[in-house]
Structure 1
Amino acid sequence: MKVTIENSTTVKPIYDPSPPPPSTAYIPLSAFDKVAYDAHVAIIYAYRPPAMPTATLKLGLQRVLAVYREWAGRLGMNHKGETVVLLNDQGVRFVEASMDSRLDQTLTLLKPSQALQSLYPSLKGIEELLQVQVTRFACGSMVIGFTAHHSVADGQATSSFLVAWGRVCRGLDIGPLPLHDRISYFIPRDPPKIEFDHFGAEYTSKKIVEDEASRFNNVALDDIVVHKVHFSADFLTKLKARASISCPPSDITNNNKRATYSTFECVIAHLWRAITKARSVSAYETTHLKISVNGRSRMNPRVPNQYFGNLVLWAVPSAKVKDLLREPVSHAAKLIHEAIAKVNDSYFRSFIDFTTSKVKHDPDIVTTASVEKPALCPDIEVDSWLRLPFCDLDFGCGSPYMFMPMYYPTEGNIFLLPSYIGDGSINAFVPVFKDQLDTFRQNCYILD
């Protein structure tokens, strides 16, 4: 897939008619920002013609950056040596590119592979916190490749920015406005009250990281393939019915219909078992499932949805391989449901206190979020984008008719997205070892 780069520029905020704010200000990273991935995450959106002119996209981006200043800044240090977002308005990278073919001729190539990397800006050696690449096709279609540094914002906050950008391009107001306060919502308690063990979920030791790195030092990129699994709405209905058999009596609704686990919980339970079946691991080994949990609605008082930053921690259900595979999918769904429920306000407050009182004083403690791992076996990590407003990203040419995550070949790291078909189905992007792919594919659609 040959992509021609036509132009690459820096786009900076426009504050007209207001005067620009001071460029010496900064925003400190919160405890949640510090345990997020210290790397860019990319996603690709495809639009049918007629596509919005590049000038309109640029101008809209300049105006929305005046409201979301963090993206136009840089990571740096304050006088205490702490990492902060410098609000210096240095700008974002904007790349214009083209292909001399029709997008429908290229669709077969738009799968989770290295070819995708030509549709978003390079992630190597960059200082920008946000990058955009607009690729035009001969048919008039447009693909927008977007990359954002995860230390600045989580999926919900980044999605709000993208929707706001689209609204500005359509001549609409940004609403609701983002909340940039990363301090007052997360004030540690005095004295600290650490009620939970945050090792394994958010933090680990340098020794464990070194041991994991040596365990997978022989894994090569060519050993892993990212497989896309499509779960139809009909399959999901059957899966939920089977997986929800273990819902406790307390979950029965008033109309005497038994409640079900969420679609997300059921899909992950199914994939956890399917991947584990394909792996050659001991029946007595323990497999962990790392699930991101949004804290906005779980903290008390609730943090508004407009909060701009990271506010995610992890639920980590675990099981012996033999138990996970011997028991039905309902057993895995129950483990997941219970683990997610435990990541409540008390857990988030405990994490804040732990980070403030313990982590900063112990140089051996490091975060578990690492992009250096080539494989997670026997564990699994899940990034769910099922609730992100993909269809609301309208630049004036309608909703995207296709979207997919970046090429991220870390074995066991799953991305879940709503299918762009729009019928309630789900796409799962699952990196697996090549020699285990056939077994995994056989297990994907078997309900047992």
Structure 2
Amino acid sequence: MGSSSVHVKEAAIVTPCEPTPACVLTLSSIDSQLFLRFTIEYLLVYRAGPGLDHGVTASRLKAALAKALVPYYPLAGRVRAKRDGSSLEVVCRAQGALFIEAISDRHTIIDFETAPKYVNQQRKLLSLHVADVLKGAPPLVVQLTWLKDGAAALGVGINHCLCDGIGSAEFLNSLAELASGKRGLAELKPMPVWERQLLDPLLVRPPCDNSMTHHEFNRVPDLCGFLDRFSNERLAPTSITFNERSLNELKNLAITSSSRPTESSYTSFEVLSAHVWRSWAKALNLPSNQILKILFSVNFRDRVKPSLPSGYYGNAFVLGCAQTSVKDLVEKGLGYATALVKNAKDRVDTEYVRSVAESVTESMACPDSVGVLIVSQWSRLGLDKVDFGMGRPNHVGPICCDRYCLILPVVDQRDTVKVMVAVPNSAFDKYIYFVRSPYS
């Protein structure tokens, strides 16, 4: 997407349409983690149709945003560090979110059917990229871009300190229901719950079990210039679709290649992330003794006691982490890798979450980057149902495809997912081959 292909027509600050509390809210220790200080960027693309009238759609979206910012008033605030540097807080003075309307003279809906040619090709579909929300930028940016064929692209940036994937998707669905008139403000489901102090008891003594290992925070030696390769070599975006049949095939392969064939069931996420991890490792051609990790978010809303209330939109996840050597990952088969992912997921309980909260509070622990593949599952967030009165989106994905691996929904195909990840150019062909050939 060339620099001239998207032209901003209007940029406006939208404030809540009713009075909201003027206050300073403290973010939890989980929200305040160093590695969450970035923006989650969604891209939803809608087909041209009778529900898409330029003037009407833009004003309806703006009005819905002003309404949504009443119950979600912290998203209209500004994030800052506390004076003592311990955590973050949100200054709520109804400062507002940014709404942008733009026009693209080059792009059509067909452009989103395949992976972009380069990582930042769609950057302009969210013209304001907030790199550091602590410098006073709005934590919420919404951009409606009209495409050349009458379709519409909706880019949304939500700062990760304020919400996780589940929370941000709930906000988007509420915004869509207000825009389409399906619900009024009083009928939103679930009603948003701020209550970040619910995570405070996790930090109350008695101290948690210090013997608990957190591989995600431990450093491993870089034996192969891993970080240099990812920063110096051009990254090539990939997008591969897995339907129900191919996912079942992976599950069967994981069970038959397992050292413990008694394991009778793996989830689609467990086998797919393990398969992508192995394909990625093989394609990168790394030294056999390099330690690799896979990191993925584990929602703990129902894994802690007491569980968090419905509508809690803060960060309620910790990172599951599996690690092994390149040699074992490549040679021991899909069953081995899938069991590692499953075990990492199964470890997460109240005690585990408490020890993560302590690690990030006391030592500002942050995940390592060496040998790491981060996988994020967007396919279960309900993003494919976000209907602003324009129908369901035809495409759901990120604004930019990077080395984060995303598992995305495929619209109207319930048990099909799309895996997007950018790999170094030199590994592109091999990665595509391995990911498409699970028996190789």
Q: Tell me the TM-score range normalised by the shorter chain.
A: 0.7 to 0.9
- Tell me, yes or no, if the aligned pair for 1:41 and 1:406 is still in contact at 8 Å: no
**Unaligned runs of at least 5 residues, structure 2:** none
**Residues 250 and 304 (structure 1), Cα distance of their counterparts in 2 relative to 1, 3 Å cut:** farther
- Tell me, yes or no, if the aligned pair for 1:324 and 1:332 is still in contact at 8 Å: yes
Query: Residue 190 of structure 2 corresponds to which residue in structure 1?
Result: 176
**Residues 166 and 342 (structure 1), Cα distance of their counterparts in 2 relative to 1, 3 Å cut:** same
Paired with 2:151 and 2:262, the residues of 1 have a C-alpha distance of: 51
1:229 aligns with 2:240: yes
What is the CA distance between 1:77 and its match in structure 2?
4.0
- Tell me, yes or no, if the aligned pair for 2:104 and 2:145 is still in contact at 8 Å: yes
Instruction: Give 1:401's aligned amino acid.
Output: N
Correspondences of 1:84-99 after superposition (within 5 Å): 84-99=89-104
Instruction: Using structure 1 for the length normalisation, give the TM-score.
Output: 0.86
1:446 aligns with 2:437: yes
2:250 corresponds to which of 239, 243, 251: 239
**Residues 320 and 294 (structure 1), Cα distance of their counterparts in 2 relative to 1, 3 Å cut:** same
2:204 corresponds to which of 181, 189, 195: 189
Query: Residue 398 of structure 2 corresponds to which residue in structure 1?
Result: 405
What is the CA distance between 1:262 and its match in structure 2?
0.3
1:164 aligns with 2:174: yes
Query: Residue 32 of structure 2 corresponds to which residue in structure 1?
Result: 34
Corresponding residue SS for 2:397: strand
1:70 aligns with 2:81: no
2:160 corresponds to which of 150, 160, 168: 150
Paired with 1:196 and 1:390, the residues of 2 have a C-alpha distance of: 39
Correspondences of 1:26-425 after superposition (within 5 Å): 26-35=24-33, 36-48=35-47, 49=49, 50-51=51-52, 53-78=57-82, 80-81=84-85, 82-100=87-105, 103-104=108-109, 106-107=111-112, 111=116, 113-124=119-130, 127-171=137-181, 172=183, 173-187=187-201, 188-197=203-212, 199-201=214-216, 203=217, 216-217=227-228, 219-220=230-231, 223-245=234-256, 246=258, 259-356=264-361, 358-359=362-363, 365-368=364-367, 376=369, 378-410=371-403, 413-425=404-416
Paired with 1:222 and 1:284, the residues of 2 have a C-alpha distance of: 22
**Residues 342 and 102 (structure 1), Cα distance of their counterparts in 2 relative to 1, 3 Å cut:** closer
**Residues 275 and 407 (structure 1), Cα distance of their counterparts in 2 relative to 1, 3 Å cut:** same
- Tell me, yes or no, if the aligned pair for 1:8 and 1:96 is still in contact at 8 Å: yes
Corresponding residue SS for 2:74: helix
* Alignment: residue pair count: 418
**Residues 101 and 379 (structure 1), Cα distance of their counterparts in 2 relative to 1, 3 Å cut:** closer
Instruction: Give 1:119's aligned amino acid.
Output: L
Paired with 2:376 and 2:80, the residues of 1 have a C-alpha distance of: 27
1:11 corresponds to which of 3, 9, 14: 14
Deviations 1:187-226 (A, max 9, x none): 122232234546542x468xx89x89x9635754652112
Identity value in percent: 24
Query: Residue 422 of structure 2 corresponds to which residue in structure 1?
Result: 431
Deviations 1:307-331 (A, max 9, x none): 1210111111111211111112111
Instruction: Give 1:131's aligned amino acid.
Output: V
Paired with 2:211 and 2:128, the residues of 1 have a C-alpha distance of: 39
**Residues 333 and 204 (structure 1), Cα distance of their counterparts in 2 relative to 1, 3 Å cut:** closer
Q: What root-mean-square deviation, in Å, do the aligned CA atoms of Structure 1 and Structure 2 show?
A: 2.7
**Unaligned runs of at least 5 residues, structure 1:** 252-258, 360-364, 370-375
Paired with 1:311 and 1:400, the residues of 2 have a C-alpha distance of: 26
Deviates more, 1:331-340 or 1:419-428: 419-428
Paired with 1:330 and 1:110, the residues of 2 have a C-alpha distance of: 29
Paired with 2:328 and 2:210, the residues of 1 have a C-alpha distance of: 28
Query: Residue 254 of structure 1 corresponds to which residue in structure 2?
Result: none
- Tell me, yes or no, if the aligned pair for 1:43 and 1:406 is still in contact at 8 Å: yes
Instruction: Using structure 2 for the length normalisation, give the TM-score.
Output: 0.87
What is the CA distance between 1:41 and its match in structure 2?
1.8
What is the CA distance between 1:303 and its match in structure 2?
1.2
**Residues 21 and 263 (structure 1), Cα distance of their counterparts in 2 relative to 1, 3 Å cut:** same
Instruction: Give 1:33's aligned amino acid.
Output: D
